[in-house]
Amino acid sequence: MTPRRALLATVLALLALPAPSRAEQDWFASLYTNEGIEMRADERVFTLYAALNAMGYDEAPVSRRFPVPAREMHAVRLKVREALKVDRALAAKLDAFFTEHPETAELYGRQALTLRGPPTFEPTADSSAALRGIGPLLSEVYTGGKLAELFGQVQDEYRSALKGYHAVIDGPVLEVRRLLKMKEDEPPRVTLVINLLDGRGSAFSGLVGEDLYVVLGPSTEPDLYSLVREVARAKLAPVAASKAGTSKVLAEIAAAVGAKSAADFATEVFARAFAAAVVKLPEDKLAEKAAGGFQAVLDVYPLIGKLASSGSSLESFVAENLWILAKEPAAN
């Protein structure tokens, strides 16, 4: 039995259990696709972003600038912002931690995905040593803010969002894996996590062992492009690091467009191109994904289909097409 079939067998066995037994294992009932992709809400991510929102996190599309700025937020996010009140002492500790560790919300999100579940939020071997101190603070937020109860109150909304993805994600995930020349049961396994406490269009991913958690914010329709881009990024990152990591030209371009390194810039370009090819973005949307110094996406995009039908490896494909990235206009 292949790992995928074994997973499906486990899922079917779980669904066959009486409802109380299933609830004890996963009380908010994760959904699984026909290919065994898990889709879920996640209490660790929920707790982190509840805390961030309580501390003033307001990343979201601006729906009105004047006379008073307003931001578009999901109804669940507004409910949580209204319900969760962090006391002054805990707020001070959170503020001090954020001051000492001024990282992006996405980096904190990746850390949350490595922690054990509530109420302890204990670190694991996959946790970053630098951010380990966030676990005890999240435990305080979870317990003091009665987040278990609040999380339960919004499960209908989460489940509704997950159902929108249920019938449409298998195809794109399988297709990008095929284009990336991945074997049928090659890790990582993909788990989709919906985060209604972030802004529309937000997306990040975290690789924990052999599991890739793709965390997507609210959207009016399934954000398949971001899902596929994150799956592609996980496979492409080590390849780009080995092929582009020492390029001084790409390092200069990366700095110009705000990427951390040559490898990160190369990963981003190729991941965007693969995702665009899988979901078949129209020309205007493709141009949007190439904006901000990533025009090379437009040149790499047509090559993706050729890779699928060729005998070239992904490593060779990346190495042979780095020159396209090196002619990036941002280098000027």
Dist CA 87 CA 118 (whole Å): 20
Contacts of 251 by beta carbon, 8 Å cutoff, 6+ apart: 261, 262
Distance CA 157, CA 152 (A): 10
What phi and psi values does residue 204 have, to the nearest 5 degrees? -155, 170
Please give the Cα distance from 270 to 328 (Å, whole number): 13
* pLDDT value of position 26: 47
Q: Using DSSP, state whether 101 is helix, strand or coil.
A: coil
What parts of the chain have a pLDDT lower than 50? 1, 3, 9-27, 330-332
The length of the chain is 332
Output the CA–CA distances (angstroms, integers) from residue 288 to 34, 200, 295, in the order listed: 32, 16, 10
Which residue type is seen at 100?
A: E
The pLDDT of residue 95: 98
Residue 29's pLDDT is 54
Listed by start position, the domains of the chain span 223-332
Q: What is the pLDDT of residue 14?
A: 43
pLDDT of residue 329: 56
Which candidate, 251, 238, 253, places its Cα nearest to that of 318?
A: 238
